[in-house]
């Protein structure tokens, strides 16, 4: 029978320090990782407090980094970002702080560039189907519906 590796609190602290130093993490990811290491709830609390005290774990920093990264790389809109942060149980205050990382000008210019690029790439002759494909694409990426529908009507006649 395969033996399951067990960890002391000190070993868990070191492992999670490396885990958090490699990439920003939210509390939920850290707790899930510790549960996967079969740590008891009391030990999980001790490790999380240690990570917080030594600034390995910082939810505000995580939220800001997450929003900046997903916006710049994946071109996600605010609705999608909000949903993903809520899924990770990030507080309302930290979500609002994170959205300050995106300037309104950057947000709109990214949206317009993404919409125009996608509209050009859709190989559909029926204008209604083309509008639907473009709208679905932009809505899935989390852009606000009023922006999406205005842009779809502007680009596809």
b (16+ CB within 10 A) / e for 22-58 = eebbbbebbbebbeebebeeebbebbbebbeeeebbb
145 Cβ contact partners less than 8 Å away, ≥ 6 residues apart: 139
Q: Which residues contact 21 (CB under 8 A, 6 or more apart)?
A: 56
pLDDT tens, residue order, the chain (157 aa): 556 777 889 999 999 999 999 999 999 999 999 999 999 999 999 999 999 999 999 999 999 999 999 999 999 999 999 999 999 999 999 999 999 999 999 999 999 999 999 999 999 899 999 999 999 999 999 999 999 999 999 988 7
Whole-model pTM? 0.87
Among 75, 69, 64, which Cα is nearest to 97's? Answer: 64
């Amino acid at each position: 029978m395969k033996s399951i590796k067990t960890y002391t609190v000190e070993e868990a602290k070191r492992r999670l320090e490396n885990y958090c130093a490699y990439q920003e993490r939210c509390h939920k990811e850290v707790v899930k990782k510790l549960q996967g290491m079969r740590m008891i709830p009391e030990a999980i609390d001790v490790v999380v407090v240690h990570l917080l005290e030594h600034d390995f774990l910082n939810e505000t920093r995580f939220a800001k980094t997450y929003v900046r990264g997903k916006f710049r790389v994946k071109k996600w809109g605010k609705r999608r970002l909000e949903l993903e942060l809520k899924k990770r149980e990030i507080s309302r205050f930290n979500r609002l702080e994170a959205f300050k990382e995106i300037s309104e000008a950057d947000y709109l210019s990214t949206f317009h560039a993404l919409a125009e690029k996608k509209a050009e790439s859709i190989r559909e002759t029926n204008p209604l189907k083309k509008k639907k494909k473009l709208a679905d694409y932009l809505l899935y990426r989390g852009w606000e519906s009023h922006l999406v529908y205005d842009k779809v009507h502007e680009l596809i006649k």
